[in-house]
Amino acid sequence: MSTLSALPAMPMSVQLINLMASLMLLIAFAMLAQRRIRSLIYLFAWQGAVLAVNCLIVAWYTGHGELYLSAFFTVLLKVIALPLVLHYLIRKLDIQWDVETLINIPTTMLAGIVLVVFAFNLALPISQLAGTITRGTLGIAIAVVLLAFLMMITRRKAVPQVIGFLAMENGLFFAATSATYGMPMVVELGILLDVLMGVLILGIFFFHVREAFDSLDLKHMEKLKESGE
């Protein structure tokens, strides 16, 4: 009790934001270990939802009107539209019940923890300079980006790799919110548009991949190497 009271009291806003940040990190780790494609998409939708709630909390406590709009678009795109598109795709491609064999989940998790430590060290000098109430979460934002990157490296299938890419974008969005209360609106809208276009184009592309290789397993894609032509 005495040690607890020695800590400076954190305002409610910071506590809530920290809670959201820890949920982000938790979901990022869950995605790293998730084998089922369907569950992976649900996790992605949850990550979007946490992102939107975080946006709302920051908007409420700082009075940045633009962030309400960001939260609205985040819900629209990352919680509703993209998961729907992804679910539609895996149903069409008939890979709904696919279970990926991930080698060595414990090692991946350990690597993830190392990345988190690294991310906090990287964020330290930046967050000291940021004047936002959310600056403490910048380390987590970078960690989410790095964990998504790790996920992309460890996956051998096309759809999970794309989800990894989208999770990375979520992390970057989170970083923008915690370092600067979000980018200017026009830029943010542009980024969301790019993400949407990207997923739609890849949706078309998946069908081409399957047509050419009879599967969405990327192990078939190792022809273009330097030595063997």
Q: Which residues bind another protein (CB under 8 A)?
A: 125-126, 129-131, 145, 149, 152, 158, 161, 165, 168-169, 172, 175-176, 179-181, 183-187, 190-191, 193-194, 197-198, 201-202, 204-205, 208-209, 211-213, 218, 220-221, 223-224, 226, 229
Cβ atoms of 77 and 196 within 8 Å: the answer is yes
C-alpha to C-alpha distance for 181 and 4, rounded to whole angstroms: 30
C-alpha to C-alpha distance for 167 and 199, rounded to whole angstroms: 13
Q: How many angstroms separate the most distant Cα atoms in the chain? A: 69
Q: Which of 98, 86, 108, 91 is nearest to 31 (CA)?
A: 108
In terms of CB distance, is 59 or 202 closer to another protein? 202
In terms of CB distance, is 84 or 187 closer to another protein? 187
Query: Smallest distance from the beta carbon of 133 to another protein, in angstroms?
Result: 14
Q: Which of 11, 56, 27, 18 is nearest to 181 (CA)?
A: 56
In terms of CB distance, is 27 or 168 closer to another protein? 168
Query: Smallest distance from the beta carbon of 174 to another protein, in angstroms?
Result: 10
Query: Smallest distance from the beta carbon of 197 to another protein, in angstroms?
Result: 5
C-alpha to C-alpha distance for 124 and 112, rounded to whole angstroms: 19
Q: Which amino acid is at 29?
A: F
In terms of CB distance, is 120 or 149 closer to another protein? 149
In terms of CB distance, is 26 or 197 closer to another protein? 197
C-alpha to C-alpha distance for 86 and 200, rounded to whole angstroms: 10
Query: Smallest distance from the beta carbon of 103 to another protein, in angstroms?
Result: 20
